[in-house]
Amino acid sequence: MKLERVVSIDVAIIMKDRIPLYSEALGGRDWSGNVVENFNLPINLMFGTYFTIIQGTAVDAIAEL
């Protein structure tokens, strides 16, 4: 049996697009010079396993199983 891992999130826009004045031309930094780690995910969390991100509620995530 394969165990599915699904998580829900309110807004599934990748993190770098949610940060004001993010610039790859400045080496992936924000407006104040802070480095922004870009994993092309809507939230920058480090997990030791693969999972699917669903935009919506927990009920929406369960429906995807």
pTM comes to 0.49
Render 3-59 in DSSP notation, one character per residue.
Answer: PP-EEEES--S-GGGGSTT-BTTTTSB-TTS-B----SSSS----SS--EEEES-HH
CB contact set of 41 (below 8 Å; sequence gap of 6+): 14, 15, 53
User: Is the predicted pLDDT of residue 2 greater than 80, yes or no?
Assistant: no
C-alpha to C-alpha distance for 30 and 15, rounded to whole angstroms: 12
pLDDT in tens, 15-62: 788 888 888 888 888 888 888 887 777 776 666 666 777 888 888 877
pLDDT band at 1 (very low <50, low <70, confident <90, very high): very low
Q: What is the pLDDT of residue 4?
A: 67
Can you give the pLDDT at residue 9?
Answer: 73
Q: Which helix (H) or strand (E) holds 64?
A: none
